[in-house]
Structure 1
Amino acid sequence: MRLHSLEVTAFGPYRDHQVVDFDQLGADGLFLLHGDTGAGKTTLLDAIAFALYGAVPGARNDAKRLRCDTADAEVNTRAVLELTIQGQRLRLERSPEYQRPKKRGEGYTTQQAKASLTWIGTTPDGQSPEGLTRIDEVGRTVQRLLGMSVEQFFQVVMLPQGEFAKFLRADTGEREKLLERLFGTERFGEVERWFVERRRERWREVEAQSQQVRELNARISQVSGVPQSSEVGDENWLEDIQKQALRELENTRAEHTRLRRERDQAEARLTERRELAEKVRRVRQANAALAEIDAKRAEHEAWRAERAAATSAIPVITARRAAERAEQERDRAQAEVATWASRCEVDPEAPLDELRSRAGAERERAGALAQLIPEAQQQESDRRKLAELIAKITADERRETELAAQRDGLPDRITAARTRVEEAKHAELRLDTVRTRGSEVAALLTTAREIPAAQRELETAKGNAQQAVDAHQQARDQLQDLRARRLAGMAAELATNLGDGEPCPVCGSAEHPAPKQPVDDQVRAEDEELAQTAEQRAQAARERATTAAQQAEQQLANLRERLGEHTEPELADELEQLRAEQNRLSETAADLARRESELAKLESATDELGEQISALRTGIAAARSENTALTTAIEEREARLRDGRGDFDSIADRRAHLLDIADRLERLIAARTARDDAQQRLAETRAGLAEAATAAGFAGVDEAIAAERDEQRLAELEESLAEVDRRAAGARDALASADLFGVDPDTEVRLEQASEAATTAREAAERAAALAHRAEQRHTELSDLGERLRAAWAQLGPAMAEHAELEALADVVNGRGQNARKMSLRAYVLAARLEEVAIAATRRLQRMSDGRYSFVHSDAAGARGTRGGLGLDVLDDYSGKVRPAKTLSGGESFLASLSLALGLADVVAAETGGALLDTLFIDEGFGTLDADALDLVMDTLDELRAGGRVVGLVSHVEEMRQRIAVRLRVRKSRHGSSLELSTS
C-alpha cells in the first residue's frame, strides 16, 4: 500500500479544503507532521483511517465528532484518499454522519454517511467501471485488498497516539485479546470450545448409559428381591438371580399341575350333581304346568269362542264400512251440487241439457272476443310509446335551450380561462424571486434576533473586563505596597540573619553594634512572591477578559453590519408577507396544468356544442312526425275496442267473465253426474251388507257388529291361546323325553357339598396358577433385563474409556489437567506469535537502547494458578536481570513500546502479506527522549525507509523537527529534494 494524496474538507480542525501530497512528502522515505498541540496533526492520520475503514483510532472513534464545528453549513464534511494497493490505483471518498442546520425552518437534520470507491486506470476483473457507492461494499473491498482488519491496520500501518504503548503494559488478558484480533486465532478458540462441547456431549451420553445401568440394576433388584450390586459388570450376581428365578418357576409349575388335577375331579363330581338336580327341577316344573292348564280349561274355551265369533264377523264389518263410505260420497256430491248451483244462480235440479246449452253459448261469445285482445295490447303499447315520445320531445327542446345558452356564454369563459392561465404562469416566474428574497429576509431576521444576546454578552464581557481591570489594579497596588514595606524593613530583615563574629553581607564587618529590630508588620520574601503571583494571575485574567470583550464587541459589530438599516419588526412583517405570498404563488403555479386543460376544453367546446344542437333539432322533428301518426292510429283503434269491452274495463276482463260463467256451469253438470253415481253405489253396498251378515251365520247385522273385536284384542287372544298350547306341549314333551325317564320328582340332591368342594379345589388351582404365572413372568422379565444389562455393560465400558480420554485431551487443550504450563491451545498459538514478536522487537530495542535492553518472552503460569504463555519482560544487560516492563522510565518505555510496535507490525505484516505495506505512520510522544536516544530512534527509522518503506512521524518536538531536517538535507544532497509538512 502506498499513499499518493489526501484531501480533507470541514474535517476536525480543518474548516476549509486542504490537500496533502504524499508522493512529494514521501519522496525521501521520511517526513514529519509538525505543529503545536491541538493544531490537527493527528487529524490527518484520522482522515486516512476514516477514508479507508470509516473509523478512526482509539477513543476518538467513540466520540463520533469528525465534522469541523466552525465550518459553514453549506460545506460538506469529507475525506478523499488516493492510493495504490496491490498495483491497483484507486480513489476513496467518505463523508461521516453529522447534524446540519435545516435549509428551511429551524432545527437540525441528519446528514447521512456516504462512501465511494473509484478505480483509476484499469478496472480489476469482476468490478464495475463505475466503482462502488455502498458503504458495506466499499469496506469489504478495502479490507480484501489490504488483507487486514481495521484493528490490524492500526497496529501495522498507523501506530496511534497513546495506543501502541498499551501492549507493553497490558496484562495477560488484555494482551490475549489484542493478539487474537491481530492474528485471527479465533479458530483455535473454536477448537477449544469444540473439545469442551464434545466432552460435555460424551459425558451426557456416558451419564445416560450409567443411568440406564443403574435403572436396570434397580429393576432387577426390585423384581428379584435381591439387593443391588455396587460393581459394574458383576456377572455372578446376575447369574445367581436368574438361576433362583428358574428354580422358583419349576417348583410353581409342578404344584400347579397337581392342584389342577384335583380341581378337575371336584368339578366333574359337581357337574354330575348339577345334571341330576336339573332333571328333577324339569320334571317338577312340567307337572306343575300341566296342573295349572287343566285348572283354567273353562277360561281358555271362552277365549276360543270369542276369537271364532270375531273372525266370522270380519266380512260383515268390511261390508258395513263400504256402505258408510258410499253414503259419505253421496253426501259430498250433494253438497258440491248445491255449491255450484248457488254460484251459477240456477235451480240445482234444472235439466242437464239446458245447462250444457247455456255453457256452450257463453264459450262462443268469449271466443269471439279473443281476436280483439292483441289489438288491446297494441293499444296500450302505443299509448306508452306516445307518452315517451312527448317526454323525449320536451327534454330535447329543454336541452337545446341549455346548449344554446352555453354556446352564447363561451367567449366570456374562454377569456377568463386565458386570464387564469397567464396568472399561473406569472406566479411560477415570480415564485423564485419571492423564495430568494424570503431566504435573505430570514437570514437577516436571524441576525436581528441574535443582536440582543450579543449585546448582553458584550455588556457581560465589558463588566467582567472592568472587574478584571479593577482586580488587577488592586493586586498591583498590593504588590507595590508590599515591596515598599519590604524595602523599608530590609535592614531589619538583614539583621535577623546576623550572628556574633559572622561578617555582615552588606559591609563585611564582623561587629554589629546596633542591628535594626524587626517591626510588627514585617514583610517577608514569601509574601512578596505570593503577591507577585497573584498580580500575574490577575493580569492574565484581565487580558482574557479584555480579549473576550473585544471579541464580543467585534461579533456585535459584524451582526449590525450584516443587518444594516433593517429592524426586527420590519423584517418579521416582511417575512410573514413573503411567506404568505409564496404560499399563494405556489398554489397558483401548481394549478397551471389544470387551468391550461380547462382552457383547451373550452376552446374545443364551440364546435361540439353546435354539433349537439343540430343533432337535437333533427331528432325533435322526427319525433314530432312519429307522434302525429301514432295519435291517429290510437284514435281509430279505440272505437273498435269500446264496443268489445261493453261495461268492463277491458276486453280481457269481459272475456274472462264469460269463460268463468261457462266454467261454473260445467262444474255444476259434473257435480250432478257424480251425485247420481254415488246414490247408485250406496244402494248396492247396503244390499251387500245384509247378505254378508246372513252368510256369516248371524241373525242380523247388529249381531255381527256386536261380535267385532279390535286388532289388539284379537292379538291378545291369539297370543294367550298359543302360550297355553305351547306350555302344555312343552310339559308333555319334557316328561316324555329319554333323559327324564325314570326321574322321581321327590329325589333329594345334595348339591351344596359338591359345590363347596369344587370351589375349594378351584381356588387352590387358581392360586397355584397365579404363582406359576408370576414366576414365569419374573423369569422372563429377569432374562430380558439381564440381556439388556449385559448389553448396557458392554456399551458403558468403552464409553467411559472414551470419555476419560476425551476429558484428558480437553483439559490439555484448555490449559488444565496434565498441561503443566496451564496454557490453552489458543494461548499456545498466541505465545508462539508473541515469541516471534519479541524476537523481531528485540532487534530494534537493542539498537535503540545501545544494546542494553532485550525482550524476554515467558510461557510460565501466572500467579495463583492463572494461565500463562503471554508474559513479556525486559532483560537489562547492565544488571543481567529480567525486569517487568512497567519498571522502565518514560523514555525507556517509549523506546520499548516503539520497538514492540514495529516488531508486532513486522509479524502481522508477514501474516497478512506485509510486502505490500509500504507506508508507516507513528503518532507518539518523542519528547521523552534525550538526544542520544533520539539519534538511535532515527537510525531505526532510517533502516525502515532504507527498506523501501515511507515513514511519517507526528510530533510537536522542535528538536525532532531539526533532526529530521538535518537527515533530509543529507539525503537531499545525495538523492534530490525533500519536503516537510507543518500544520497549524
Structure 2
Amino acid sequence: MRPVLLEMNGFASFREPTVMDFREADYFALVGPTGSGKSTVIDAITFALYASVPRWGDRRMVANALAPTTDRGIVRLVFDLAGHRYVAVRELRRTAGGVHVKNARLERLADPAALGAPDDVTEVLASDSEVTPAVEKLIGLPFEHFITCVALPQGDFAEFLHEQPAKRQEILVRLMGLQVYTRIAQAANTKAESEKQHAELLARQLEEFTDATEPALQAAQGQVAALEKVAERIRAMLPELAQHGAAVAEAQQACAALAEERDRLRMVAVPAGFEELGEREGEIRAACGTADEELAAAETADTTAREQLAAAPPRASLEQARRDHAELDETEERLLTTQALQQWRAAALRDVIAVEKEAERFVQQARQAREVTARSHLAAALRPHLRAGGSCPVCEQRVTTMPGPLTAPDLDAAERARIQADHEVERLRGEWTKASRAEQQAAGELNMLAGRVATLRADLAGTPALEQVTAALARRERLERTAEEADAQLRRTRTARVSAEKTAAGVRREVQAARAVLEQVRDPLVTLGAPALDRDDPTAAWTVLVSWAADAAATRTTALSGAHERLARARGRLTTAEDRLADMLAAPGVEFDTERPFTETAEPAVAAALRGARQEVRRLVERREQAAKLDARRQHAEQAHQVAKTLGHLMRADGFPRWLVTTALDELVAHASERLAGLSDGQFELVHDDGNFLVIDHTDADGRRPAKTLSGGETFQVSLALALALSEQLPAMAAAGAARLESIFLDEGFGTLDETTLETVAATLEELAIRRGRMVGIVTHISALAERVPTRFAVHRGRGTSSVQRETP
C-alpha cells in the first residue's frame, strides 16, 4: 500500500480543508513544533483505511477524529496497490448521540493515473460497515498488524519486538499469507467430517436395498414366464368369446329395437286442444276484418279534419292581429291622456316663466333701492368690511383699532329685501327646470305614442275587424280539437288492428305448429309402415294415424317375447366361456374388471400384469445396480475421509505452518541482525530462542540478554532493524496473496540516538526508500535528520487549525 493523496477537512486538529500530495515523495519527513499535528497525518491515513487510530486506545472511539468546533468532517485517501489505484473515504457527523462515521466507501479508479476527481470513473468495492473488512482483505493486514508493521505510532514502535511468541507468529502468518495453510487444514477437517457423514449416509441408504436379492429377482422372472403363457392361451380363446359376445349383442339389439318401436307407437295420440284451435282461427279472422273497417273510417275522418284545418287562416297571424287591435285601442286611449297632460304642463311652464320674469324685475328694483340707500350710508356700508391690521378702502391707512358698528336701519331693510328677492328668483328657476323637464317628457311620450298608433294602423290596414278576427280564432280552435280527436281515434284503431294482427299471427303459428306436430309424429314412423295422411284435414289425419299406431304396437309386443328367448340362450353360452377364462386368469393372480366384458378386459389385464412383472424385474435389476454403486461410493467416501483427516493433521497450526514461520523468523532475525550491526556499529547482534528475541552484546563478552532489558535508544535500533528487515524480506518470504509492505511510517525514537547512530539510521532509511523502492515517512524534531530527507511536509498550528506545506530542498 503506497499513499498518493490525502485530504483532511475537520479531522482532529485539521479544521480547514488540507490536501497532502505524496506523489514523487518516496522519502519524506513530517516536521513542525510539538502539538502542530504531525502524528495526526499518520492517524488520518490509518483512519481512512481502518476507521480507528491506535493513539485513542479504543477501536470503537471516533469522537477524537472530529474537530471540536465542527459538526462534519471528511478523510479521503488515494493509494496504490498492486498496479491499481484505490480511494478510501470516511465522513464524520456530530449528532445528539455523539460522533459517527457516515458514507464510508472503498472505490477502485478505472484510470490508475487519476486522483479520484468527481468526474473520474470508479467502481465501488464496499460501503459503510463493509469498508474495513474489504480494506483488510485488500491490503492483507488487520488493523493491529498494520500499526505493527506499516504505520508505527508513538509508544508502539517496539511492539513487534516485545510481542509474545504466539502473537508474533500470528502476525507473521498474516504478513506471509500463511493463513492459507490454516484454511487448508480447516477445509481438510471439514472435508474429512463431510466424507465421514457421507459414508455413514451411504451405509444407511444401502440398508434400504435389502429387497434386491437374487431369489427375489428369480421369482419375478418366473412370474413373467407364467404370464406370457396365459397371454398366449387368452389370445387363442378371444375369437370364440367374441363370437358369443356378438350373438348376445345382436339379441340385445333386437329386443331393444322391438321395445323402442313398441314404446314409440304407444305414444302416438292427438294433441290436447287441437279441436278448439279451428274455432279460434275463425274468430280471429272476423276480428281482423272489423279492425280493418274501423281503421279505414278513422283514416278518412283524420284526413278530412287535417284538410279543413289546413284551409283555415294560421293561428299565429290571427293572434297577432288580435294583439295589434288591442294594443291600438290602448295606445289611442293613452295618446288622448298624454295630449291633455302635455297641454297642462305647457300652460304651467308658461305660468312659471311669467312669475319668474316678475320676480327678476322685483330683484332689480331691490338692488337699485339698496344701492341708493348705501350711498346715503357709505360709512355704515364700509365698516363691516374693515379688518384689524388691514388698509382702509377710503384713506388707505392701516386699521389698528376696529371702530364700533354704525346703525343704518333703512340700509339693513334694503339688504334683506334684496336677499329675499334673490332667493325667490332661485326658487322660481328651480320650478321652471322641473316644469320644463315635465313638459319635455310629456312631449316625448306624446310623439312616441303617435308614432306607435301610426305603425299599428299601417299593420292593420287590410285586416279584418277585431270581431271577425275573434270569430276566426274560435273556428280555428274548433277545427284543431276535431283534428286532435280524429288523430287520437286513428291511433286507437291502428293499435287495435296491430293487436288483432298479433293475435291472428299467434293463432296461425299454433295451427302451423299443430300441422308440424302431426308431421313430426308421422315422419319417424314411415320406416315402421306409417300410412299417407291428408294434410288439409288434420283431424281426419290424426284419427287414421292413431288407429294404425295401436295395431302396429300390438304386433311388436308379440315379436318381443320371441326375441327375449333368443337372448337368454346366447347369454348362457357366453357365461360358460367367460367362466373358463376367469379360472385361467386367477391362476397367476391377474386382476381385471368384472363389470366389463372379458373381450375388453382380459387381454389388457394380462398385458398390464405382464408389464408390471417385467417392470419388477427391471426394478430389481436397477436396485441391485444402485446398491453396487452406493457401496462403491461408500468405499470411496471412507478413503477420502482418511486422506482429508491426514491432511488436516499435517496442516495444523503447530505443524507445517509453524515450521514455515520458524524458518521465516530465522531469516528475518538474520537480516535484522545485519541491520542492527550496522546501526550499532557492530555492538549488537539479534537472535531468537523459541520465538523470544535476545541481543548479543559484543562489547560485553558476547553476553546475551532479553530485548526488554535494552535502553530506549537501543530498543529503537533493534525495532528499526526488525521493521526494515520485515519490509525487505517479506516479499521473498510471503506466499502469493500475502500482504505487500510497500510503505513504512515511523513516528518516534530518533531523539534517543547519538549523532553517529543517527547518521547510520538516516543512511539506512535513504537506501530503503531510494534504492529499494519503498515509501518511507518519518516524524521527527531533529533538524539534522530532516535536512537529509528529500521531501519535507512542514506542519503548522495557528488560528485554531493545523496546516501543511510541502518543502523540497
Pair in the same fold by TM > 0.5: no
Between Structure 1 and Structure 2, the one with more strand by share is 2
Between Structure 1 and Structure 2, the one with more helix by share is 1
Give the structure-2-normalised TM-score: 0.45
Give the structure-1-normalised TM-score: 0.38
